[in-house]
Amino acid sequence: MAKLTVRDLDLKGKKVLIRVDFNVPMKDGVITDDNRIQAALPTINHVIDNGGRAILFSHLGRVKTLEDKATNSLKPVCKRLEELLGKKVLFIPETRGKALEDAVEGLKDGELLMFENTRFEDLDGNKESKNNPELGAYWASLGDVFINDAFGTAHRAHASNVGIAKNISKTAAGFLLEKEIKFIGEAVNNPKRPFIAVLGGAKVSDKISVIDNLLNIADKVIIGGGMAYTFLKSQGYEIGNSLVELDKLDLAKELLEKGKGKIMLPVDFAFTKEFKDEKPTHYGPITAIKEGEMSLDIGPKTVELYTKELSKAKTIVWNGPMGVFEFENYAKGTKGILEALAKNKDAITIIGGGDSASAAINFGYEDKFTHISTGGGASLEYLEGKALPGVECVSNK
């Protein structure tokens, strides 16, 4: 890999700025899922084990009002991190100023501190989110080297990633970011073939650029989820009350034309009258849809067809559920595809972030894939073939 990683840095005695992604879900001040904190531990441990002085920071939620500020402090996150590390992490309830600067100067080798939510700076003219040059330079001045390990925000140029990188001698990728670059980057730039992309989710409009880019590089693009009905309707099929984007019919037609022979559409469906978690009234091809019905999932024949296709792949990227997986009765298609991916032990299997990642984890497939991405929006933009500012800003080797 051409990018500098945390392994390449001389850390002993250095003040090491580490941008982590601690944007964890919280309810009433309590962390409901600490996966992201756990995922950052390898990078943090590497830094302190090698004598670095760790200065940790992250965003948490959106901070537009004083009320947001009151509910989005990183203090509980710092406490949880201390428990997981079994080590003191000094918390500085500021994003700048003397208290922070003194604390940084007081750090000894192998010690850690964390400062407050970087988005507190958004209260004053969106300084973090708009990559205010003074803020990036200020944060950079606190450290000797910078490690970016936050893939979730890598598609955004913020002060806490790009802004710091611009003002410091060396920026390296942490272990998490390195993994994202390795697996998603390689799938997009140099995939082992056959390369099959599986795309689902609610809307075609959200994924136009992804489909378009993947049609250029993948050998097959398998479609499921709500977006399938816009494709079917564009071919003249009656789709009843199924999800559709009528203003995207021409575009769907164009994509089908461009992807001739590459795009696979579902061949059977789970039909129902209402958007409810009740058993489907029947399964069948789209032509079997009855008046007032909609489809909320792909059917068993489609799962079989897609499974067969996926068994031949050497690289698989999956983004977006095949149906309304939140309803038990309509999760079969999504589970079927997860199973197909898990079964193909010869393939590099990559799950895009967001809903696909949570489906994979919640349905018990967490350890069955090569890589589950930690960033929804970022992994989509990576698959679109876009350069991600948070990856670009990492120094080359």
Q: How far is the CB of 294 from ligand AMP (least distance, A)?
A: 7
Binder among 225, 299, 353, 389 for ligand AMP (CB under 6 A): 225
Q: How far is the CB of 203 from ligand AMP (least distance, A)?
A: 6
> CB within 8 A of 143, min separation 6: which ones?
14, 15, 16, 17, 55, 104, 164, 168
321: contact with ligand AMP by CB under 6 A:
yes
Pairing of strands 171-173, 145-148: parallel
Which residue's entry shows tokens 């010690």? Answer: 111
Name which of 243 and 383 has its Cβ closer to ligand AMP: 243
Q: How far is CA 33 from CA 38, 81, 82, 200, 229, in A?
A: 10, 13, 16, 25, 34
Q: Tell which residue, 76, 35, 54, 84, has the closest CA to residue 360.
A: 35
Task: Lay out the site mask for ligand AMP across 378-397 (x = CB under 6 A, - = otherwise).
Answer: --------------------
* Residues forming the active site: 36, 203, 354, 377
| Binding positions for ligand AMP, 121-150, rule CB under 6 A | none
Task: Lay out the site mask for ligand AMP across 322-351 (x = CB under 6 A, - = otherwise).
Answer: -xx-x-------------------------
Which residue's entry shows tokens 């589950």? Answer: 372
Q: How far is the CB of 206 from ligand AMP (least distance, A)?
A: 5
Name which of 41 and 202 has its Cβ closer to ligand AMP: 202
Q: How far is the CB of 322 from ligand AMP (least distance, A)?
A: 7
| Binding positions for ligand AMP, 26-65, rule CB under 6 A | none
Q: Beta strands of the chain (E only): which ranges?
A: 15-19, 26-27, 30-31, 53-57, 89-92, 112-115, 145-148, 171-173, 195-199, 220-223, 263-264, 269-272, 282-284, 294-298, 315-319, 348-351, 371-372
DSSP states of 172-193: EE-HHHHHHIIIIIHHHHS--S
Closest-CB residue for ligand AMP?
Answer: 201
Cβ atoms of 311 and 344 within 8 Å: the answer is yes
Please provide residue 135's backbone torsions phi and psi, each rounded to the nearest 5 degrees: -70, -45
In angstroms, how far is CA 373 from the centroid of its own chain?
5
Binder among 320, 353, 389, 390 for ligand AMP (CB under 6 A): 320
Residue 287: CB atoms within 10 Å:
7
Name which of 52 and 201 has its Cβ closer to ligand AMP: 201
Name which of 321 and 375 has its Cβ closer to ligand AMP: 321
Q: How far is the CB of 231 from ligand AMP (least distance, A)?
A: 12
**What is the CA angle 252-377-163, rounded to 5?**
135
Pairing of strands 315-319, 195-199: parallel
Q: How far is the CB of 277 from ligand AMP (least distance, A)?
A: 11
| Binding positions for ligand AMP, 230-269, rule CB under 6 A | 243
Please provide residue 281's backbone torsions phi and psi, each rounded to the nearest 5 degrees: -70, -35
Name which of 174 and 224 has its Cβ closer to ligand AMP: 224
Q: How far is the CB of 390 from ligand AMP (least distance, A)?
A: 22
Q: How far is CA 306 from CA 222, 309, 314, in A?
A: 7, 5, 15
Binder among 191, 355, 374, 391 for ligand AMP (CB under 6 A): 355
Binder among 118, 132, 295, 374 for ligand AMP (CB under 6 A): 295
Name which of 80 and 248 has its Cβ closer to ligand AMP: 248
Name which of 130 and 327 has its Cβ closer to ligand AMP: 327
Q: Which two three-digit tokens encode residue 103?
A: 């604390």
Q: How far is CA 386 from CA 189, 318, 325, 368, in A?
A: 11, 18, 29, 28
Name which of 101 and 277 has its Cβ closer to ligand AMP: 277
Pairing of strands 15-19, 145-148: parallel
Task: Lay out the site mask for ligand AMP across 172-211 (x = CB under 6 A, - = otherwise).
Answer: -----------------------------xxx--x-----
Q: How far is the CB of 276 from ligand AMP (least distance, A)?
A: 12
Footprint on this chain of ligand AMP (rule: CB under 6 A): 201-203, 206, 225-226, 243, 295-296, 320-321, 323-324, 326, 354-355
